[in-house]
Chain A
Amino acid sequence: QKEVEQNSGPLSVPEGAIASLNCTYSDRGSQSFFWYRQYSGKSPELIMFIYSNGDKEDGRFTAQLNKASQYVSLLIRDSQPSDSATYLCAVSVSYNTDKLIFGTGTRLQVFP
């Protein structure tokens, strides 16, 4: 079982729709969760982080965390073609290290 799992996609949504990206993780002790956006050929860009159960909103982005289900998601409202990218989920580990474990990413395509 992979430590952080994401559907590779592509996830295709029309412009203006809500895109829902999902991530599950195996380390029950993980405390910190991150979403990065990576455009093709570019470096990962941090867009959201969440530490507590529930929702965290920032503009068009909402991160949702459910530690009991070991599940974290990213919602993008009013999706734009410029949101087309790969979205990487990253999770901290519970033992004595600061490293992050990344999923393989979900490719999002927003079509006009």
Chain B
Amino acid sequence: GAGVSQSPRYKVTKRGQDVALRCDPISGHVSLYWYRQALGQGPEFLTYFNYEAQQDKSGLPNDRFSAERPEGSISTLTIQRTEQRDSAMYRCASSPIEGAGQPQHFGDGTRLSIL
């Protein structure tokens, strides 16, 4: 497909487990963004990359959250020692050009549920 691809679509895990969420951006897109969206809210910024470089991680809630994009394409968002409050929809977006104000295109998201 031509869009942003996220996997898995759904993830259910027990509290305390680590989870890894994957994002495959639109081919050729330079910038990749991670957001978290609670029900009835807008997406909340977590972190973003230009190519392989993480530019801003100010939105990561705490040090249990980390992200990488080692080859400038696919990105992984990892949550260690998950807690129930981590349950949310995690969304990835990409844009073809780096820079503030570029339109971002979203994937379908990963619904994470922590039991």
Contact = CB atoms under 8 A, between A and B. Distances in A.
Nearest to A93: B100
A17 interface: no
Contacts of A51: 101
Contact of B31 (A34, A90, A98): A98
Interface size class on chain B is 20 to 34
A99 B42 contact: no
Interface residues of A, number: 26
A103 B106 contact: no
A49 B58 CA distance: 25
B59 interface: yes
Interface stretch (B11-19, B21-29, B43-51, B71-79): B43-51
A105 B43 CA distance: 10
Contacts of A44: 43, 91, 106
Interface of B: 31, 33, 35, 40-45, 48, 50, 55-56, 58-59, 91, 98-109
Given A90-B42, A97-B100, 4 more contacts: A51-B101, A92-B100, A97-B48, A104-B41
Closest 10 CB pairs of A and B: A32-B101, A102-B42, A99-B45, A97-B56, A43-B106, A92-B101, A98-B100, A92-B100, A44-B106, A102-B43
